[in-house]
Amino acid sequence: MDLQNNDSATNNAPANLGGDNSSYGDIITKDIFELLGVENMPEQQKRNLYTKMLETIQNRVIIKITKELPQEALAEWEHVAKSNNQAEMAQFFDAHSINVDEMLLKETLMYKMEIVELTKPIRDANKKKADNTQIQNSNF
């Protein structure tokens, strides 16, 4: 089974990014905190969020691998996954034509698009609040 050509991540992508100024190119090239407008967040908070995001993405890839493997390969996958042996995992992925790097990339892009889309109302509200504050300050 060839899991490397599975385009479900890109097929499930939102048609647009909520009409804000984020483009698909931005999703690819910009840091998630820049996309969210919180690049000034304290570094420790950023590291904590990056860790949680990475765990989420890795879990999505593991689920995808588990769902798409043929039934006869699931027991082997469970054994390999529990071993936590990187060389054994790499060998398993090669033997089953699983391109984990590509899967991680697709899931990362999907996750970034989802986060940008889900947080758009918050960013819009913050922008409106900042605009109102600026208008009030200019009236003095």
- pLDDT tens sequence for the chain (140 residues): 444 444 444 444 444 454 455 677 888 888 888 888 888 999 999 999 999 999 999 999 999 999 989 999 999 999 999 999 999 999 999 999 999 999 999 999 999 999 989 988 887 887 777 777 766 666 65
- Residue 121: the pLDDT is 87
Q: Are 26 and 115 in contact (CB under 8 A)?
A: no
pTM of the model: 0.70
- Residue 13: the pLDDT is 45
Smallest Cα–Cα separation from 98: which of 124, 62, 126? 62
What residue segments make up the domains of the chain, in order of their start?
8-138
Tokens of 24: 């698909």
